[in-house]
Each structure stands twice: as structure tokens, then as C-alpha cells.
Amino acid sequence: MAKDRHTFNCKAIDFKTYTTLINETEHSLYFAPWWLETINKSKKNASLLLLLVATPQENVALFVAILEAGQIITADYCQHLGIHYLNADLSLLQKQEICLSIHNALPKHHFFHLNFSPQISDWLAWYWLGYKQTTRYNYILPISKINSTEDFIALISKNSRKRIKRNIRDGFAYVKGIDVDEALPLIFKNADDKAYKLNQDIVKVLIKTALKNKKGELIGIRNKDGLLAKVSFLVRHQDRVYNIFSGNSRTLGGQQLKMFLLMNYIIELGDEIKFFDFEGSMLESIAKIAQAMGGSQEPYFCIEKGSRYAFPILWQKVLNRLKNS
């Protein structure tokens, strides 16, 4: 491939074209067409921004974001989006030129705030264009070799082992196939307790769509009386399982059951899935669990430019016109 400047063309594409191209590659759950489509249908006054970067000879990259009220942002319930390379052999210079072509093709907007996938390890081209960057972290646990209780126990701390033994002694039991209507109150209560916002309508649609398509599952822990103390919504995609939403009943001791739940689920998976993704690992409680299990950090970039609010932009234009008049 030629390395000359301006050899890349970037253009908007429709969802059908995007689906064909992305499905030919390995990609994270957040780029999966069914996941994006479900989220996008639940959003009002927002649209998917889909761009394709190509040379005359081949397609080299996709760009995915949400365009909403003059803002280019990461979609709800997507840890990352942005650039997805279709060619694994691109040079650093070529990747930087791809960033430039995407920047030049972006629709008019006043705010850019996008989490890029861990696939993107160089953000210099965006820096040169005046963008800012914050590094964020996710945790990943290799699980293909965890096939027994002993394998799992070897990963965790002495205190966690004692807690699991206590969970078993107290009569807690691992269960699958939990009903959506039983799970949602715990998930929403957990979000309220931790002071982060969930769009209940989108969460319901995501879970029901995943279950219907046999992509997701609701697992949990019941106490000896059969009451639901802990629940997790997980989604399998390619070689990874994603822990998307969780909830627990504090009155039933649900906050002490995370390790017990993960142990049962991961052992059950066997070698079907290679990695467990602790989605939401910037939250301290999730990061601590991932660290305790030996999870490895997976950094990704949040790249930003402009103002979230349109008024400062308009005011600056007024000031510039007065200055130049």
C-alpha cells in the first residue's frame, strides 16, 4: 500500500454496508451490529455515524460514533467505539493519516467526546489536530484454563476463599435463567446506590434483545429461602464474555456474593470463552475484584475536543465578529 499522504478517502456508509464489513473481522461487542442497532433504536434525536476509510484498492478502517445534538459521542452502554481497523498491516504513518481523513470527514459538531477501543494505541494525530486525551482502564481475565473450583480458588485471596466457603455454608445457591422482571429491580437499585445513571428503557430492551437472540444470560445467587440476592447480565461475543449489568440485595447479603457468582459461572463456561471482561472497571469496586482475581489492565483512550454546550461556541463567534467589524 502506498504511504503517500492523502491516499485515504473517508465517506459515510449505510448500516447494511457497515454490518457486512464489521462481520468479516474480529471486533468487540460494542461494534456488533445487533448491539448498536438495539441502542440506536432506543435513542431519540440521535443517529449512528458510520464512516468508511478506503484506498482505491481496499477498505482499511471503520469509524463508529453517535451523533446527537451537535455532539459526536460514545453510544450508551458501549465502553468504546471510534476507529476499527480492517487491515492489520497498517503502518503508524498510515494510521495517523486515517485519523486525519476521519477528522476531515466528520459532520458539523461542537463537541467530540469518544472512547476509542484498546486497538488504538497511538493518538498523536488527534493531538496534532488539537484534541485532548484521557487514559481509561478496563480489566480482562483469561479464563480458558479455569475448569474447576481449585483452578478458581488458586486465583483469589485468602479472604475471598473464606467468603466463598461462608456463602456455601449459609445456603446460597447459583442459578441461571432468571426472569427479566425479577432481575431489573436489583440492577436499577444497584445503579442508584452507586450514583450512576441507567436509562431503564434502554436497559430493558438490551437485556430482552440479548436473551431473545441467545446472546446474553441472566445469572444469579439465591439464598436458602429462594430469594434473589445477586444478579448479573452477561453477554457472550466471539471469544469474550462481558459483564454488562449487576445488582444485589444488601438486605440479603448480595454485596458479598460476587466471587461466588463468578466462580460458578466461569467454571461452567469451561474453555468455550477465552476472556472475561469486567466492563465498568473504572469503578473502584469492580476494579478491586478484577485485581483480586489477577485480571490484567487494558488501557483505552478517551479523546475530546470542543464544548459540550453549544452556547459558548455561539458566544465566541459573536465576539470574533465584533472584533473583526
Interval 76-126: pLDDT, tens: 899 999 999 999 899 999 999 999 999 999 999 999 999 999 999 999 999
Q: Which whole-number Å values give the CA distances from 2 to 94, 97, 267, 278, in the listed order? A: 9, 12, 48, 40
The total number of structural domains in the chain stands at 2
Give the CATH number of the domain where residue 169 resides: 3.40.630.30
Please list, in sequence order, all residues whose beta carbon lies within 8 angstroms of the beta carbon of residue 304, skipping any fewer than 6 positions away: 112, 113, 114, 131, 132, 133, 134
Q: Answer yes or no: do 163 and 83 share one domain.
A: no
Q: What is the dihedral of CA 247, 250, 254, 259, to 10 degrees?
A: 90
Q: Answer yes or no: do 114 and 54 share one domain.
A: yes
Yes or no: say if 107 and 291 are a contact pair by the CB < 8 Å rule: no
Domain containing 96 equals: 9-136+300-324
Q: Is the pTM of this model over 0.75?
A: yes
Per-residue confidence (pLDDT) for residue 3, from 0 to 100: 45
Does residue 288 lie within any of the structural domains?
no
Closest CA to 227 of 172, 185, 187: 172
Per-residue confidence (pLDDT) for residue 206, from 0 to 100: 94
Q: Answer yes or no: do 132 and 157 share one domain.
A: no
Does residue 172 lie within any of the structural domains?
yes
Does residue 193 lie within any of the structural domains?
yes
CA 155 – CA 293 distance, rounded (Å): 5
End-of-domain residue from the set 255, 273, 291: 273
Q: Answer yes or no: do 318 and 267 share one domain.
A: no
Residues of the chain with pLDDT under 50: 1-4
CA 216 – CA 34 distance, rounded (Å): 12
Per-residue confidence (pLDDT) for residue 318, from 0 to 100: 57
